[in-house]
């Protein structure tokens, strides 16, 4: 099996490399591909130094699975070309709502993978949507979800490597009493919270929030009502979600905890005492989606509150993509 990673030098591309190495998948040739700025770089994989190829001249004809992790513009331009020869697993938002492209989270809707041959492209979900639907799928099966109210608290790594550097430099400048300069965020990110990710749409939602609404419906159930607020926080890695879930049927809290703890990809850490929950720092470099603060909503019947945390570069991106590839490799 020959595999290519487009955007191999970026945050998600490097995480895909880590996951491929950890899972020990059978790979004959691995091609690392990036922009011309990265030509000549070498990255270690399984004890070998692999050279980075130029995307503009890369030959896709010898590749069976191609991961795209270089942003929507690159996917728009090159994914269709790659899909003539290989199955594309795209981490950008560009193809997610295309009706002919399956949007896959293996624990939730792997049965939809059968539809990938229409365009030879599979879309990977949004980095907050993936852990949300992983946690909510078993609850939807039990009680049928009517409505979701979610607030996401997203780390700066979701915006890329340079925004991570901006958080670090602003933090340093703060303690040195220097002026804090913002290039990648609309406000100071250090010691702050910014309720704005991506551009604004009519009605006041942002694109990031609309992605959550649309993707939850496509992956989980189009009948579910969804509203959300997306917030960028001064954390390097891992996203957190505070979510209120309203069911159509009466629920049992202990059953919810038991089912979540036994569901694929989920881990419940929910002790009602100091530190009996998971935070973004603890979720970094972990494969699980963590669920804490499980409790009944005292203001509304048939409703609960949850706190969900996951490494956005792993389950929110690279891990989910590789798990899709694992399923494909059984059939290719």
What tokens does 266 get?
């989920």
266 assigned to active site:
no
The torsion angles phi and psi of 250, rounded to 5 degrees, stand at -65, 140
Question: How far is it, in rounded angstroms, from Cα 158 to Cα 11?
Answer: 9
Per the DSSP assignment, residues forming a β-bridge with 103 are 123
What tokens does 186 get?
């609309």
Question: How far is it, in rounded angstroms, from Cα 48 to Cα 248?
Answer: 54
127 assigned to active site:
yes
- Which residues does 86 contact at the CB level (< 8 Å), separation at least 6? 4, 60, 63, 64, 65, 66, 120
- Residue of 140, 213, 239, 251 marked active site: 239
Q: Degrees (nearest 5) of the Cα angle 321, 97, 285? A: 25
- Residue of 127, 140, 213, 266 marked active site: 127
Tally helices (H) and strands (E) across the chain: 9, 14
Q: How many CA atoms lie within 13 A of 297 on its CB side?
A: 19
Q: Write out the DSSP string of 174-241.
A: HHTTPPPP-SSSSS--TT--BS--S-B-TTS-BHHHHHHHHHHHHHT-TT-EEEEEEEE-S-SS-EEE
H or E segment to which residue 142 belongs: helix 129-143
Question: 116 in helix, strand or coil?
Answer: helix
Question: 111 in helix, strand or coil?
Answer: helix
Is 247:143 a contact under the CB 8 Å cutoff?
yes
**Dihedral angle of Cα 78, 185, 309, 101, to the nearest 10 degrees:** -20
Question: Which residues are tagged catalytic?
Answer: 127, 239
């Amino acid at each position: 099996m020959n595999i290519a990673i487009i955007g191999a030098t970026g945050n998600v591309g490097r995480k895909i490399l880590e996951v491929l190495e950890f899972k020990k998948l059978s790979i004959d040739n691995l091609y690392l591909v990036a922009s011309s700025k990265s030509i000549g770089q070498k990255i270690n994989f399984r004890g070998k130094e692999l050279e980075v190829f130029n995307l503009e001249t890369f030959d896709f004809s010898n590749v069976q699975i191609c991961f795209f992790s270089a942003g929507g513009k690159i996917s728009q331009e090159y994914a269709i070309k790659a899909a003539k020869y290989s199955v594309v697993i795209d981490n950008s938002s560009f193809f997610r709502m295309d009706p002919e492209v399956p949007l896959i989270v293996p624990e939730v809707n792997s049965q939809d993978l059968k539809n990938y041959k229409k365009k030879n492209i599979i879309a990977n979900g949004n980095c907050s949507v993936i852990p949300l639907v992983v946690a909510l799928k078993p609850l939807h099966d039990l009680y049928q979800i009517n409505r979701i109210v979610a607030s996401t608290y997203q780390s700066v790594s979701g915006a890329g490597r340079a925004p991570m550097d901006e958080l670090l430099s602003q933090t340093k400048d703060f303690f040195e009493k220097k002026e804090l300069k913002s290039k990648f965020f609309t406000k100071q990110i250090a010691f702050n919270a910014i309720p704005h990710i991506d551009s604004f749409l009519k009605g006041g939602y942002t694109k990031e929030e609309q992605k959550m609404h649309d993707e939850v419906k496509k992956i989980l159930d189009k009948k579910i009502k969804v509203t959300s607020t997306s917030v960028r926080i001064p954390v390097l890695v891992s996203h957190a979600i505070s979510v209120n879930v309203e069911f159509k049927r009466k629920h049992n809290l202990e059953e919810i905890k038991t089912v979540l703890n036994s569901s694929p990809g989920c881990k419940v850490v929910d002790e009602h005492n100091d530190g009996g929950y998971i935070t973004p720092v603890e979720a970094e470099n972990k494969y699980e989606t963590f669920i804490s603060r499980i409790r009944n909503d005292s203001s509304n019947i048939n409703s609960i509150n949850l706190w969900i945390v996951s490494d956005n570069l792993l389950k929110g991106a690279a891990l989910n993509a590789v798990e899709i590839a694992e399923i494909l490799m059984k059939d290719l």
